Chains A and B, each alone.
Chain A
């Protein structure tokens, strides 16, 4: 999963006219971003960006200083140049960007302060980090493998708590191998502070790191500190890599197998298993039960904007299972037939609550109300010492554009219609008469779009948590967390 090719912005150069267009749009956006950063007084890499923007779009210099939309639009440019690529069929629909389709609008409409209005106030604490999608401003210390991983994570190509954790550890392995201790210091002292930290920081800018990644990083740091300073460097690095491999094997791969074996025993003949989004353990569990010869049905519930469950449904379909696929709005119908709900986890919180893909709480609630057992499959590496009462404080806000994209892509007839009316760009003048679409949401004051990643399921909806230590009630999560993540 970690070996997908590094998407580079340089690919754009190979294309002729559409690429040129996109480059211009991108340059414009970078300029916008730079302008915003300058306004905010954050001069992290603003000059850098602006400089790059000017050289990228020399033909449209007049557009540069003009900021026509709030600069929050930090999308994934590196994916943009190849929308027809079939290598990431899953990520593509979400990643398309509506505003790049036309030429940049040279209308000064919104200033940077407007930006704040597009952030939902309740979640303002979660907007602090904007996602990184380009090479710009990346510390030179960041290892290419980590760089690639970062982009894959931010584009959801690597998605899911354990997948991200494994991919991170593998990338760190490469990074560690490429590391040489500077003279005058020791590996144990220097590696974490000066080499690993920038890597981790970079990953954090791509997407907030998951609990499993946090646990793994903590474990790795502890490991590095404990290295005997007298060990030769290469040997220490080999040891580290071996231990990382062992960690992945023990804490994730074998654990997954153990959990799948244990959880699949909950699936009996005639069961109807309900699951939501995509969890690799749930998938393994279902496939395991299927391999065991149990005859059962699977109901898969999917949600916008990631449509993760579709790939789950596809893989179960290919395995020959009887699969039913429903949109999230249909969960009351899904629950009606189900006999068992299997859920994956982003993290199990210390107070027994489950943090998982947004929507999980709704499913668990419906199932609990219908007295259907809700079982969470979760490796202990995802157990967390954090506690949360609701989904507000601990969460992740994804770019709101992701919510619009698919729908805009689907209604591709709308821009055409606009075109036939002969006024694609000057909607500022005829604002009152023009029929706006959701794609214009940034221009509409008071309209906000919220795209949360996770929600917190109350512990009372969860009947059982299956981890490699066995099956527990949610109240035992902190005990296992201490045992597994802190006691070692």
Chain B
């Protein structure tokens, strides 16, 4: 099904194909070089490739103990991140897979320590005491995260907060109490949606007790069931199989993320709206298409010259699926919005401010979202967001959770990648290129206060809430991949 050119230029699809045949180490090297050469770029391809590669890595690793697996994944992850630190999706996926491993490991340990005596779902103080020696290390490491998770909930944990910092058992008390306070939990937890991968809450809870919590991603249900089975049958968990399941689930999530985001479309787009968007994002196209099935509106599309305008034009003319590299989905027909009766107005980036007074909503697709609610998006996004802010136009950002990075933008400048100046001025103009500094930044940093709403695959949330979702998806010990790492 892929087009003919795939064979020649290395891209995501060639990489994924080669993944099956080549051995792990050379696959890693290949991915690193593809990343470095920007032959795999943008969040989604990077995330997909990372997940697939780590799946291979996990499958190929012989593990005697979980720590070894964690070390291996973080070692590979470190190399990948170092190859292209600005593709944050790579790091995000590595972190989430590490989270999967850790979760599996903890369940394993818990099962081991609890033995066969454990029947009920609620964690009683006694078993927690019994496994304390095992868990002290990870638990104390997680205490800051634990606080950030517990604080928003209610006053119960707040009372215990000081104790959490000293010892672990109170934490278990808190968890036990939360088990009792079940009715409160699902509502707040479902806000974050409890994605397939671990959250602190799920860590503290019993896997059995967790299953009633609504888990929106369709991929998550298959995993919980086998786990419950395993726990019930009191066998030792097959760590590797569990981790592979977790990664597959992550891949499933990457596949359905656009659809999940698009499900929210009708809640946000009403008839006769004028919506401004930017770049050729697949997520945004899907979102708009979903809305277009029911409602008529107008889309004003800024073209993102000079880095993305060709793709943007292609998207407008031929529909959402872009042909840049990831052809493996090419069979899925993406109708252009225009064919669904939606008026699409193409404008150059310069006209954004002029038109903003008539725009009802701005929909942006980020490159990555940072933990404080700010985001990195294609160059020009900052102007759009600012213009929207000055016209009091709501800015909606559509982002899969995989784009959500636990990084705080202390220095926004270093997050920006600079692209090929030849796209701005042709290299044929030798003297100009020689004497004038031609600069072509690829990304813009948009502050959190310019964004009104994030729509992730878990639902909508305010930018100020994103840190919670970060806390739910990444372990503190994994946040700093480059540094001391896991252990």
> Residues of A at under 8 Å CB distance from B?
120, 122, 300, 302-305, 310, 313-314, 317, 322-333, 336, 357-359, 361-362, 365-366, 369, 390-392, 395, 403, 407, 411, 435-438, 440-441, 444-452, 454-456
Contact = CB atoms under 8 A, between A and B. Distances in A.
Contact of A446 (B343, B386, B423, B431): B343
B441 interface: yes
14 contacts: A302-B424, A304-B349, A305-B348, A323-B437, A325-B424, A328-B350, A329-B306, A329-B444, A330-B441, A361-B354, A362-B383, A366-B382, A447-B316, A452-B354
A437 B336 CA distance: 12
A82 to B, nearest CB: 20
A310 B432 contact: yes
Given A327-B424, A392-B357, A403 B346 contact: yes
Contacts of B390: 365
B440 A327 contact: yes
A389 to B, nearest CB: 8
Contacts of A455: 350-351, 353-354
B435 A323 contact: yes
Contacts of A390: 354, 357-358
Interface in B353-397: 353-355, 357-358, 378-380, 382-383, 386-387, 390
B354 A392 contact: yes
A304 B354 contact: no
Contact of A444 (B306, B338, B348): B338
Given A304-B348, A327-B440, 11 more contacts: A317-B435, A325-B424, A325-B425, A327-B379, A358-B351, A358-B354, A359-B353, A362-B387, A365-B353, A392-B357, A446-B342
Nearest to A435: B318
B416 A333 contact: yes
Interface in B385-443: 386-387, 390, 413, 416, 423-425, 431-432, 435-441
A356 to B, nearest CB: 11
B310 A325 contact: no
Contact of A449 (B306, B309, B345, B436): B345
Contacts of A407: 309-310, 313
B90 to A, nearest CB: 24
Contacts of B306: 327, 329
Interface residues of B, number: 56
Interface in B72-121: none
Among B355, B380, B444, which residue has the most Cβ atoms of chain A within 10 A?
A: B355
Nearest to B434: A317
Contact of B350 (A300, A304, A435, A447): A304
Contact of B317 (A310, A331, A436, A454): A436
A362 B353 contact: yes
B455 interface: no
Contacts of B431: 317
A342 to B, nearest CB: 18
Contacts of B382: 332, 366
Contact of A448 (B345, B355, B357, B383): B345
Residue among A317, A330, A452 having the largest count of chain B Cβ atoms under 10 Å = A330
Nearest to A390: B357
Given A317-B432, A437-B313, A448 B348 contact: no
